[in-house]
Amino acid sequence: MYYVNREQIEKRLLSLPQTIEALRLTAAEWEGSLLQGMAQERALHLALEAVTDIGSYLIDGFIMRDAGSYEDIVGIIHEETVIDDGLHDVLIRLVRLRRPLVQDYYEWDRNALHPMTMELPAALERFADGVNRYLLRELG
């Protein structure tokens, strides 16, 4: 029997609606202000951390192969049918933002609306649905 930390997965899934709303509001009201730029930056960061945290909990709980990178986390949950091909592509692009957001933040263009800000809300909803379907399928 697997030990899947459903409590921690659920906490992260429950945080996604706020991140989704922040991304939607940022995109809808974009004027390029510093405050909007910083909000966008944080929402993108929270989205990628939630995805990789949830992916890591799934990998650990279901004893999937070890992940060597953030991209590998997304690849593994794709291989295990948690997410489909289209969502895999979006989430790979998301996790590739980790370095610019976390390490090279001083170079981030806070005046520009990042294309992922508009694309991610629907993708994050699909991700949450995929995780819930996978858990139901595997654990009942």
What pLDDT was estimated at residue 39? 97
In whole angstroms, what is the distance from residue 50 CA to residue 64 CA? 19
Instruction: Evaluate whether residue 43 is within a structural domain.
Output: yes
Mean pLDDT of 10-14: 98
Instruction: Evaluate whether residue 74 is within a structural domain.
Output: yes
Name the domain count of the chain.
Answer: 1
In whole angstroms, what is the distance from residue 80 CA to residue 78 CA? 5
* 25-68 pLDDT tens trace: 999 999 999 999 999 999 999 999 999 999 999 999 998 888 99
In whole angstroms, what is the distance from residue 99 CA to residue 66 CA? 21
CB contact at 8 A, 82 and 131: yes
Given the residues 24, 42, 96, 98, select the one marked as catalytic: 98
* 97-122 pLDDT tens trace: 999 999 999 999 999 999 999 999 99
Mean pLDDT of 5-26: 97
Backbone phi, then psi, for 113, in 5-degree steps?
-80, 120
CB contact at 8 A, 56 and 12: no
| CA distance to 8, 62, 103, 128, 131, per residue, from 15 (Å) | 11, 22, 24, 11, 14
Task: Reply yes or no on whether the pLDDT at 2 is more than 80.
Answer: no
What pLDDT was estimated at residue 47? 98
In whole angstroms, what is the distance from residue 73 CA to residue 54 CA? 9
Instruction: Evaluate whether residue 1 is within a structural domain.
Output: no
Question: Percent helix, strand, coil in the chain (nearest 5)?
Answer: 75, 0, 25
| CA distance to 9, 30, 103, per residue, from 107 (Å) | 32, 20, 9
Mean pLDDT of 66-88: 96
In whole angstroms, what is the distance from residue 83 CA to residue 61 CA? 17
Structure tokens at 105: 């933040």
Mean pLDDT of 61-89: 95
Closest CA relative to residue 91, chosen from 43, 55, 40: 55
Confidence of residue 1 (pLDDT cuts 50, 70, 90): low
Catalytic-residue membership of 98: yes
Query: 23 lies in which domain range?
Result: 6-139
What pLDDT was estimated at residue 140? 82
What pLDDT was estimated at residue 64? 80
